[in-house]
Structure 1
Amino acid sequence: MAIHDPTHLFDGHISDKTRDRAKIISALTQPQFASIVLFAIVCLVCTSVTEYLVIYGISVFFGCIFPIIEVLYYSKKFHNDDGDVVRREDRFAPLLLGTFSYVLGVLALWLVHAPNLIFVLFICYAAVTFAITIITNWWKISIHACGMIGPGMAITYAFFPWGLIVFATVPFICWSRYVLRKHTPAQMAGGIIVGFIITAVIFWLML
């Protein structure tokens, strides 16, 4: 499967079995769904079971449940049957609401004195989502590709080298989004670059 132009969608043909595999990978790595597992790992830096449950609960509510609800709402509103908001023009509102949810998560984590790594990670989520919200006015970049970068960096920071496993999923995510004609290679590269640069700068400044 050759990529002839990184600025164009996949124009080849794949089998039904390959398409089904790509759909499964794409669904499981939807950033909001994947974060349920990734937050469970990052929250292992908590020092007690009670702290873990409180911090994980806050993280899942503001980082997963609320974003999932609003994405599914907008997906249905714009007649997408796969849980995605496909058109660039339709993405601004759900991304802005996602940013708002992450900001509320930052405030909640600050109020309960969450471990610094988790607090800073949520700041990264808010900043990256806001950046994508601005970018989406002109260009659609891959939130799927971007979504593994922050948690991957946090898990690598806390539990090196295990976080590298998260990064190993990125090529499979990009493959699935490409063959499903959701993104061009350039859009996926853009998502990875935006996620990495913003997260790296915030980690460098705050950790």
Structure 2
Amino acid sequence: MRVAGNGPSPVPPEAMSHVGPHSTRAERVANALSYFLNPLAFPPIAFTLVSWHFGAPPLEVAWVFALSVTFFCVVPLLALLWMVREGRAESVEIRDRTRRRFPLLVAVGSYLVGIVALGASTGTATAVLVAFALIYPVNTLILIAITHWWKISIHMAGLAAFVSGLLFVSLVAWRDLPADWEAALTLATTAPLMLLLPVLMWARVKIRAHTVGQVVAGAAFGLFVPLAELYLLTYTILDLA
């Protein structure tokens, strides 16, 4: 990392990873889970599932995946990698909350470009897809505001938002089914993902990336805020009911 001249200030010791060569097996597993369940991985999966779920043709599903990977994953990741390369962050996780604003703002800008591209080039359930995508820049701005004062878990918010988003989509797609069928299908699609929430909570606390309060707050934010936003956008603002 750079520490001299006009380069970036060094990364503070408290922001460095606690998982090193002498870490325990549990810490290594927790660290692997943190990287595997990275928030950037969920939007492309979510948007592709939404497109497929509403019956888009295969080429359109592939196009949605390509756009979402580019603007909701790759561009934000490049900003993180640049920070690591320049010594402004110790890893793509950016443990120091004071250094998170720049990559999050880059993500917001990239999300907005991606939303315009999705809205202009898709033909299946476009309004629902755009509504789903809109929660990402909106909630990222909210998380930026929270992070200015407190280190809420973005990992937990990302995973929980993925779960709540799929819960919403399953309810919309299957709302014409009998109540017992709808409940069964919704449970089958979201319950396994819900089980990942406590697992990731454990992982983030285990590697001392967050406190218990921070992971609980992140999970609560991701579960309830996007769900409320999606219902508001879909049934009130876009009037798709």
Aligned to 1:78: 88
Which of 1 and 2 has greater Rg?
Answer: 2
TM-score, length-scaled by structure 1: 0.84
Alignment match, 1:91 = 100
Question: Does structure 1 retain, via aligned residues, the 8 Å contact 2:108–2:141?
Answer: yes
Partner SS state of residue 149, structure 2? coil
Please state whether the residue corresponding to 1:165 is helix, strand or coil. helix
Find the counterpart in structure 2 of residue 157 from structure 1.
168
Write the mapping of 1:28-177 to structure 2, written as runs, cut at 5 A: 28-45=36-53, 46-76=55-85, 77-80=87-90, 82-113=91-122, 115=125, 116-159=127-170, 160-161=186-187, 162-177=189-204
SS in 2 for 1:26: helix
Q: How many pairs does the alignment contain? A: 194
Tell me, in whole angstroms, the C-alpha distance in 2 between the residues paired with 1:16 and 1:108.
45
RMSD: 2.2
Residue type at the aligned position of 1:110: G
CA distance in 1, matches of 2:154, 2:62: 27
Give the distance between the partners of 2:84 and 2:191, measured in 1 at CA.
Answer: 31
Instruction: Give the Å deviation of 1:38.
Output: 4.0
Identify unmatched segments of 5+ residues in structure 2.
1-21, 171-185, 235-241
Letter in 2 for 1:62: F
> Which has the higher relative contact order, 1 or 2, with Cα contacts under 8 A spaced 6 or more apart?
1
Q: Using the aligned pairs only, state the percent identity.
A: 23
- Extract unaligned runs of 5+ from structure 1: 1-13
The answer on whether the counterparts of 1:148 and 1:167 sit within 8 Å (CA) in structure 2 is: no
Mapped contact 1:142–1:191 kept (Cα < 8 A): yes
CA displacement 1:27-67 (0-9 Å, x = unmatched) = 10111134444444333224201211111111111111111
TM-score, structure 2 as length reference: 0.73
